[in-house]
Amino acid sequence: MRARPAAAGQRAVLLLTGVGLTAASAARTADALAAHFRVTVAPVADTAAGPQDSLAVATVDGAIALLDAARVQRAHIVGLSFGGVIAQEIAIRHPDRVQALILGATSAGGELCVRPERPIREFIRGLGDVPAEEGLWGVVPYVYAPRTRHGHAPRIGEDIAWRLTHPLDPRSFDRQRAAAEAHSTGDRLAQITAPTLVVHGEEDRILPPENGRRLAAAIGGAQLITLPHGAHAFPTDLPDVNRELVRFLRDHSRPRRASEARRNARAGHA
């Protein structure tokens, strides 16, 4: 995890990512956000410890501990891929800590989840058993959109180079997969009170785009952006989408009224 410097008084952003190439792609989003906010990046599954079924709980607690350590009462929470699983839980369990919420390339899990095709599921299940670089190259057809693979291959090479310079515990894939399969927020998403933006690629093969539509529909007032020519690593497929993320967070960076804060606090104890 890392914090990026910004001018005093800027709103804090906690960016939660998955592992593998989704973390590398999210680094592009981190760079775009850092021009406007104080950004802390936490690749949640890379540093998680404990049993697989405790991963989600442990990282929610860890995310709140990061905010506490930085003396940040309320931050924008951006969750991409598996980071979106943790971001949902933070917004549900700790509504008073969330100024605005962005959920990208993620799912509500449970009955609302639309899973990838069986060959993709089987490939992902075996990622922890292959050498890191082999797994990164092997997942490329599933993570990036065809237009990126055919017309912007250097971006993919940049992502792989970034990932290879940031050591990855191969067991992270297994921990993340187990936690993602156990994840389910469908019957609790209505508890999210923060302004929410859901972003999903129309060519996402890891989590088909219906996941984004179902997630947005279940969160009151959520905005939905679907991205033609965007796949699971959409910040690499379509770098300009980060402007939309910045715009959304800037629009929701003003302090909330005290009455709204009290209402969120009551929701958190309901």
Question: Torsion angle of alpha carbons 41, 248, 214, 226, nearest 10°?
Answer: -100
Single out the residue of 46, 49, 37, 36 nearest to residue 16, CA to CA: 46
Q: Distance between the two ends of the chain, CA-based, in angstroms?
A: 32
What is the DSSP code (8-state) at residue 50? S
Q: State the pLDDT confidence band at 173, using cuts at 50, 70 and 90.
A: low
Count CA within 13 A, CB hemisphere, residue 101: 32
User: Could you tell me where the DSSP H helices lie in the chain?
Assistant: 21-34, 55-69, 82-93, 118-125, 132-143, 146-151, 153-164, 171-182, 210-218, 234-237, 241-251, 258-268
Which amino acid is present at 228? P
Give 177-203 pLDDT, tens digit per residue. 777 777 889 999 999 999 999 999 999
pTM, entire model: 0.86
CA-closest candidate to residue 69, choices 11, 6, 14: 14
- The reported pLDDT for the residue numbered 134 is 87
CATH 3.40.50.740 fits 2-260, yes or no: no
In what helix (H) or strand (E) does residue 99 lie, and over which residues does it extend? strand 98-104
pLDDT at site 114:
94
What does the pLDDT average to over 102-128?
Answer: 89
Contact 136, 163 (CB under 8 A): yes
Q: Is 207 helix (H, G, I), strand (E, B) or coil?
A: coil
Sheet of 12-17, strand order:
2-4, 38-43, 12-17, 75-80, 98-104, 196-201, 223-227
- Give the domain ranges of the chain: 2-260
**pLDDT beyond 80 at 4:** no
Q: What six digits make up the tokens of 47?
A: 């540093």
Model confidence pLDDT, tens digit, residues 199-242: 999 999 999 999 999 999 999 999 999 999 999 999 999 999 99
